[in-house]
Structures are given as C-alpha cells and as structure tokens.
A and B are shown apart, each in its own frame.
Chain A
Amino acid sequence: MNTIVDILASAGLWAAVLRIATPLILGTLGALLSERSGVLNLGIEGIMTFGAMVGWLAVFNGADLWTGLLVAALGGAVFGALHAVLTVTLGLSQHVSGLGVTLFASSFAYYVFRLMVPVSGSPPTIEPFQPIDIPGLSDLPFIGPAFFTQTAPTYLAIALAILLAYILAKTPLGLAVRMAGENPHAAEAQGVNPMVMRYGAVIVGSALMGVGGAFLTLSAFNSFFPTMVQGRGWICIALVVFASWRPERALFGALLFAFFDGFQLRLQTALDGAVPYQIFLMIPYILSIAALAVMARRARVPQALMQPYRRGER
C-alpha cells in the first residue's frame, strides 16, 4: 500500500504520464480526424514508424529538431495520400488498404534506415528536444516538475488537441469534415465535396501520426530502432473509440492510458520481479480491449465510416 502511495506522490510519475501520452495524443488525433471524415486509417502503426525514422534521419543529417518534426509530418502525409487514393478515389476496403499501408510504411522505413545508416555496435544518436521550464509555473512545488517541465512537442500535442476540438465542433470546416463522415450524399447536396474533405482529413491526420512517431525518436529517445512504435498505433485506434470520436476526450483517454502505463512501470520496479514482467506489459493491451468493450456500444460512430463514397452510386 505504501509503495502505491509513494508512486502516486512522486512528481516523476506525473511528468512521465505526459511524456508517455504525447505520441498517443498525436496518433489518436490523427486517427480521429480521419475517421470523422469517414475513413478508417489502419496505416497508423506503419506511418508512426516511418515518421519516427524519417524525422530522426533528418536530424541525424544536420537538420534542426523542428525541421525533423516537419519532415516526419510530410512523410506521414505522403502515406496518408496513398491511403486516400486507395480508399477515397478507388473506394477499396479501408481495413485491408490500411494494413497494406502499415506493412509498406514500416518495412520501407526499416529499408531506408538500413541503407542510410550502416550497422554498428551501438545505434547512432542525436541531441533530442530538451525539457522547457515554463517561467513561473515550473517553480511551483510538485505541480511544476510534474506538468511544466516537458519538451516542446508535448505542449504542442496538448495545444493541437484543443485546436482540433475547436475546429471540429465550431467551424464551418469542421462541420464539412463531419458531414463527409456522417452523410456524404447530404454533404454533396449542401455544396461540400466529401472527396476533398476525406482527402484533407486523411492527409492531415496522417501527418499528425508521423509527428507522433517522431516524438519517440526526437524527444523520448535519441535513436531509431525497428519495432520502437511497439503497437502504440493500434492503441490509438482503440483510443478513438474510447474517446467517442471527440478530441477533448481523446486527450483525456490518452492521459488516462499513459497514467496506467507509467504507474505499472514504477510498480514493476517496486515489486522487483515478484510478478512476471510480461503481466505488466500486457496491461495496456488488455486495458484497450476492455475500454473498447465498455465504450463501443455507447460511442457515436460516424455513420459513413468505412463506406466508400461514389457519386451517383448508393
């Protein structure tokens, strides 16, 4: 009992929660935006891997960190465009197309990485994003070190969640995206082009996924290695359902999820091998499945999700 209280009372845990949540927030926002327009993007795991690799590679070759994030966003956008061609223009099965994008993006990332970076004993590293102290706030006891000494991409991810929530709920653009995902035929009748909305949402969403992946190599760690995304993309897909397709809830869901993850890491250390470590590693996946089972029926699925839109064809 004491250990649990000790863990909860350490600022380190809460700082880690925000850190662990960042790629999940970005990935979930990306998947959410895409699904809101009617396109499921299972390419996320591969797109995050590609973003992680290409962002890191840019910085390794002398670009600054922000350029690295931009490159990762562009890399994600390219694969998003591929997914959009397959699912929006051709109207192929979104499930299978997404899996194809994932397989292609991740194996392509490994291939390019191996070509550009020769094999060596220890993986080459870069100088990652450093924590930024928010003046005034970071000096607060406990709260300061826990929440206000994060790296820049973490603040960016939270800001983007709020921005996306605003855009989707309050702007004409957000309405047009939502109409494309709810009823593209009605959208067309209203003068909104659902194809354009879907292309835009998938591409911008994939760019966010790419940045989410790049957070891993440019901020959380300082090198790239295969399988480093480790299923985070799939968890983002589950988090979208948990969040009922709403960005503000996605932020909350990602933080909650990261809390459990950060907590189990510390509990695992505290228990020191009394419980097989694999049990702890299973928790995030089991939690995701449980969250899906609880939320799936209550969630408001975009009505045209996974339905290809073809003009004049119903």
Chain B
Amino acid sequence: MRFERREHRPTALVIATPLIAVAAALGIAGILIALAGAPVLEAYWKILVGAFGSKLSITETLTRATPLILTGLAAAVAFRARLWNIGGEGQFYLGAIATAAVGAHLTAGLPGFVQMPILMASGAVAGMILLLLPLWLRLRFSVDEVVTTLLLNFVAILFVSMLIDTVLKDPMAFGWPQSEAVERAARLPKLVDRSRLHIGLLVAVAFAFIVHFIQSRTTFGMRSRAAGLNPKGAVFAGVPLGRTLVLVAMLSGGLAGLAGSIEVLGVKGYVTTDLSPGYGYSGIVVAMLANLHPIGVVLAALFTAVMFVGADGMSRSLGIPTYIADVTVALSLISMLVAVFFTQYRVRR
C-alpha cells in the first residue's frame, strides 16, 4: 500500500472534508459516551438542546464563539505563513490586561465611543508585542517559535496574575484577585437584552471578512501564503521573508490580543486568571478545522462553542464528565488532519 499525490482535488471533497472529520470525531466520542454507560443519541440530543434549546443558550453559544473566532483567525493567519504561533493564550491574556490597565488609568472619563477603539487597539498591540519577541528570536537566533510561544503563555499568565495581585488589584474586590475594571461607558453594548451576547461577535465576524480580503486580494496576503508554501522558493522569487513574517506576527498576535480585549469589554469588564478556558489553545483547533480559511473559522468556532456549551448541559443531565467536549474537539482536530491528507493523496495498492 502506498500513497500517491492527487493531480487535482475535487471541490466537493474539499468542502465535505470538515464534515467528515467532525462526524468521525463525534463517532469516536459516542463510543466513549457509551462506555460511560449513557445513551449516545440522547447525549448528542442533549448537546444540541444545551447549545440551542433556548434564547439564553443560543446567546451563550454565540458569546462563547466570539473569542474563538478571533483566536482561530490568529492561529490561521500565522499557520498559513508557517509561523507556528502556539502562544494565543498568552497573547489573549496580555491583550485583556492591557485593556483593563489602559481603561482604568488612561482613558477613564472619556466618552465611551472614544474609549472603545483605544482599548481594543491597546489589547491588540499587547498581543502583537508578545508574538514579536519569539519571532525576533527565530529570525535572529533561529530558535523554533513553537516552544518559545508556548512557554510565553505561562509567563504571560503569571505576569497577569502578578499585576492583579499588586499594582492593578481592584481595591473594591474584597481581596479577591481581579483587576480594576474599565468604565461602564467603555463596555461593548449588548446585542440581546438580558444576555451576555455583545457586539464583539459582529466585530469578530467582520475581522474574518477583513482577513479573507487581505489574504486573497493583497500583495501581503500573497506573500504570506508563499512564505508558508515554500520559504526558500519565496525568497528566491523576491518575497521579503523577514518583513512578511513580522507583518504576519503583528496580525496574528494582534487578533489574539484583540480577543482578550473584547472578552474584557464585552463580558466581565475586568480581568481574572480564569478569563479564558483555553481560548488560545482552542483557537488552534478552530483554525485547523477551518483548514486555515478565515470564513471557515467562523463556522469552526461555532462548532467548538456548541460542543463546549452543549456538553455542559449534557453533563448535568446525564452525568457524563464535561471533559467529553474537550475530547471531541481534540479528536476533530486529529480526524481533520487525516481527512485533509486524503484530499491530497489517494491510496494505491
């Protein structure tokens, strides 16, 4: 048995790939649910009900999807240029804390519509800075960025934890470690009354289209793609690899930082060290599930949010550990990798 590269890829197959992958992941997760002694079909039904069963659960799913779209885009733009940014989680937290710090100390008192863009921009800049350091290490010392971006996640979260214990600690929080809050006026307006859903969702979706435009219509988009497909060939063809990667890093880190910023402005208003249940890491899965396509990221983020929100409801009613959601999402990543492989190769005996 050997594999042979396909001459051309049927469009139907490419579109069906993520669906096949998700179906395979749900199938394996079903076995695990069955082993736990629960009815599988009912479990899936409960997941759907948990994610879409009421107005509250729908808004909750969309609220969860918002940061995932942005962290997913962050991973997708970087991976496309073969910049392995695994540091989304740290960039998310740094974006969040920058937003809280600037909001509480610099822009307080300004009108809300002035504060909002400034605060989001400061979050994005903080995320960029955290990714530019590993990129510099790669370009200057040829240090693999996978490990450095990963290790910086731990550093960033500890740094945030230190700040909310000391200089940025909210004096009104009864000793609870949380940061000072941004003003009410600077918070993102709600999309639906009496829910957590905020206009950050629209911002995130807008960015998906902006990124799609950048990648398909600009020189920079073409260069970053070339850098990913074949770095040596790209340099030979006159692509300024270093400069392109710096821009990719600014876009990627900026999007992850923006995710943290929007989560602060839209949901809580302040930062704690449990602000993210791993949005940075889930963003990697989202990006892969979308096959690194920006519009696909929106759908993949929605799927991931459905799994997480729905599994909570399922867990409560059937007594299955909620970790089944993480298992399913991880399995989707693996089956997506395999599925993509079979769109590129066929089996020959």
Q: Which of B263-295 contact A (CB under 8 A)?
A: 281, 284-285, 288
Q: Mark B148-184, 1 if CB is under 8 A from A, else 0.
A: 1011101100110110011000000000000000000
Residues of B within 8 A of A163 (CB): none
A104 touches B3 (CB 8 A): no
Nearest residue (CB) in A for B166 is A276
Q: Mark A94-138, 1 if CB is under 8 A from B, else 0.
A: 011101110110111011001100000000000000000000000
Report the interface size class on chain A. 35 or more
Tell me whether B113 is interfacial, beta carbon within 8 Å. no
Nearest residue (CB) in A for B150 is A234
B327 touches A96 (CB 8 A): no
B152 touches A285 (CB 8 A): yes
A110 touches B323 (CB 8 A): yes
Tell me whether A314 is interfacial, beta carbon within 8 Å. no
Tell me whether B11 is interfacial, beta carbon within 8 Å. no
Q: Which of A252-288 contact B (CB under 8 A)?
A: 276, 278-279, 281-282, 285-286, 288
Q: Which of B307-329 contact A (CB under 8 A)?
A: 321, 323-324, 326-327, 329
Q: Mark A134-146, 1 if CB is under 8 A from B, else 0.
A: 0000000000000
Given contacts A86-B337, A103-B333, A104-B331, contact A115 B154 (CB under 8 A): no
A103 touches B330 (CB 8 A): yes
What's the Cα separation between A297 and B143 when bound, in Å? 8
Tell me whether A84 is interfacial, beta carbon within 8 Å. no
Q: How far is the CB of B276 from chain A (nearest CB, A)?
A: 14
Tell me whether B110 is interfacial, beta carbon within 8 Å. no
Q: Which of A82, A93, A103, A110 has the most CB of B within 10 A?
A: A103
Residues of A within 8 A of B141 (CB): 292-293, 296-297
Tell me whether A289 is interfacial, beta carbon within 8 Å. yes
What's the Cα separation between A82 and B334 when bound, in Å? 10
Q: How far is the CB of A306 from chain B (nearest CB, A)?
A: 9
Tell me whether A21 is interfacial, beta carbon within 8 Å. no
B326 touches A110 (CB 8 A): yes
Partner of B144, one of A111, A282, A285, A296: A296
A103 touches B151 (CB 8 A): no
Tell me whether B114 is interfacial, beta carbon within 8 Å. no
Q: How far is the CB of A301 from chain B (nearest CB, A)?
A: 9
B137 touches A103 (CB 8 A): no
Residues of A within 8 A of B299 (CB): none
Q: How far is the CB of A95 from chain B (nearest CB, A)?
A: 5
Tell me whether B146 is interfacial, beta carbon within 8 Å. yes
B326 touches A103 (CB 8 A): yes
Tell me whether B338 is interfacial, beta carbon within 8 Å. yes
Q: Mark B338-349, 1 if CB is under 8 A from A, else 0.
A: 100100000000
Nearest residue (CB) in A for B278 is A103
Nearest residue (CB) in A for B328 is A107
Partner of B162, one of A97, A114, A279: A279
Residues of B within 8 A of A297 (CB): 141-142
B333 touches A100 (CB 8 A): yes
Nearest residue (CB) in B for A230 is B154
Residues of A within 8 A of B324 (CB): 111
Partner of A100, one of B147, B150, B337: B337
Q: How far is the CB of B166 from chain A (nearest CB, A)?
A: 6
Tell me whether A250 is interfacial, beta carbon within 8 Å. no
What's the Cα separation between A42 and B327 when bound, in Å? 17
What's the Cα separation between A238 and B324 when bound, in Å? 31
What's the Cα separation between A93 and B161 when bound, in Å? 34
Residues of B within 8 A of A170 (CB): none
Given contacts A234-B147, A296-B143, A296-B144, contact A282 B334 (CB under 8 A): no
A95 touches B146 (CB 8 A): yes
B321 touches A114 (CB 8 A): yes
A96 touches B151 (CB 8 A): no
Given contacts A103-B326, A110-B323, A282-B155, contact A292 B147 (CB under 8 A): yes
Q: How far is the CB of B349 from chain A (nearest CB, A)?
A: 15
A86 touches B338 (CB 8 A): yes
Residues of B within 8 A of A162 (CB): none
Tell me whether B84 is interfacial, beta carbon within 8 Å. yes
Residues of B within 8 A of A293 (CB): 137, 141, 143
What's the Cα separation between A242 and B60 when bound, in Å? 45
Tell me whether B24 is interfacial, beta carbon within 8 Å. no
Nearest residue (CB) in B for A276 is B162
Tell me whether A220 is interfacial, beta carbon within 8 Å. no
Q: Which of B32, B331, B333, B334 has the most CB of A within 10 A?
A: B334
Partner of B154, one of A90, A99, A231: A231
Interface residues of B (CB under 8 A from A): 2-3, 32, 36, 79, 84, 86, 137, 141-144, 146-148, 150-152, 154-155, 158-159, 161-162, 165-166, 281, 284-285, 288, 321, 323-324, 326-327, 329-331, 333-334, 337-338, 341
A-B contact sample (19 more), CB < 8 A, given A96-B333, A111-B324, A286-B155: A82-B334, A90-B341, A92-B341, A100-B334, A101-B334, A104-B330, A104-B331, A107-B330, A108-B327, A114-B323, A115-B36, A241-B143, A278-B161, A281-B158, A289-B148, A292-B144, A293-B141, A296-B141, A296-B144
- The 5 closest A-B CB pairs, nearest first, are A107-B326, A114-B321, A103-B330, A104-B330, A278-B162
